[in-house]
């Protein structure tokens, strides 16, 4: 799940300043779960825009705005409004904003900040779990990602900031992931696995925008 949070009204309003005729696009997938770009949030945004003196030509929740094919299919229903709009305000993650731009060929503006790739514990509690490094080390680290869960992203922790099993860098009493890795190894009777030195990551894997094609 791609986790998003709403940008401040002030920031959205500033971005919209040069534009009058607006179409608002929501996201029926992740941003609906995050309650940042579902039906209700789109409705609220439209009301806000009207209050700011904008002319809202249309609004809709696209099933998954990150998919250019679905954008093209869904936007066809409001084709004329999109055509006339000065800008489309997209309430989805950054991927959705860019895909809508690509599908429509129109000026797009982001209403949300994309914060992380995370798990949903329950609605209103989302936890970052992956930083898409392109070289998953979960098999070496007992299914816990040190890139995300260690404040320093260390591949061989813990570090000097481990205080009573907690991370001294992150606030809110977070467990040191390397202590958890150790405990899991110990429970499995694999203590020696902790002594292995995980190699440095290959940073050349992630250069520019990655592409997967076949």
Question: Which chain residues interact with another protein by CB under 8 A?
Answer: 151-165, 168-169, 178-179, 182, 191, 194-197, 199-201, 203
Minimal distance, residue 188 CB to another protein, in Å: 15
CB of 23 to another protein, least distance (A): 36
Closest contact distance (angstroms) between CB of 158 and another protein is 6
Q: How far is the CB of 198 from another protein (least distance, A)?
A: 8
- Whose Cβ is closer to another protein: residue 68's or residue 201's? 201
- Compare residues 50 and 138 and give the one whose CB is closer to another protein: 138
Q: If DSSP states are collapsed to H, E and C, what string results for the chain?
A: CEEEEECCHHHHHHHHCCCCEEEEEEECCHHHHCCCCCHHHHHHHHHHHHHCCCEEEEEEEECCCCCHHHHHHHHHHHHHHHHHCCEEEEECCHHHHHHHHHHHCCCEEECEEEEEEEEEEECCEEEEEECCCCCCCCCCCCCCCHHHHCCCCCCCCCCCCEECCEECCCCCCCECHHHHHHHHHHHCCCHHHHHCCCCCCCHHHCCCCCCCCC
- Shortest Cβ distance from residue 9 to another protein (Å)? 25
Q: How far apart are alpha carbons 172 and 125 in whole angstroms?
A: 15
Q: For residues 43 and 166, which CB has a smaller minimum distance to another protein in the complex?
A: 166
* Comparison of 113 and 161: residue with beta carbon closer to another protein: 161
Among residues 24 and 178, whose Cβ is nearest to another protein? 178
């Amino acid at each position: 799940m791609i986790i998003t949070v709403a940008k401040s009204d002030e920031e959205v309003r500033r971005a919209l300043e040069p534009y009058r005729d607006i179409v608002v696009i929501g996201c029926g997938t992740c941003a609906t779960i995050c309650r940042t770009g579902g039906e209700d949030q789109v409705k609220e945004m439209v009301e806000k825009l009207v209050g700011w003196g904008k002319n809202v030509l249309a609004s809709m929740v696209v099933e998954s705005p990150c998919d250019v094919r679905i954008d093209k299919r869904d936007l066809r229903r409001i084709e004329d409004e999109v055509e006339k709009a000065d800008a489309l305000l997209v309430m989805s993650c950054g991927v959705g904003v860019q895909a809508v731009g690509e599908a429509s060929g129109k000026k797009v503006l982001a209403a949300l900040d994309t914060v992380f790739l995370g798990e949903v514990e329950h609605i209103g509690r989302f936890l970052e779990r992956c930083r898409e490094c392109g070289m998953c080390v979960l098999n070496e680290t007992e299914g816990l990602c040190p890139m995300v869960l260690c404040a320093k992203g260390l591949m061989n922790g813990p570090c000097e900031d481990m205080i009573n099993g907690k991370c001294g860098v992150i606030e809110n009493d977070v467990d040191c992931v390397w202590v958890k890795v150790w405990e899991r190894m110990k429970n499995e009777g694999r203590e020696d696995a902790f002594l292995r030195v995980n190699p440095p990551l290959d940073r050349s894997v992630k250069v520019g925008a990655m592409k997967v094609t076949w």
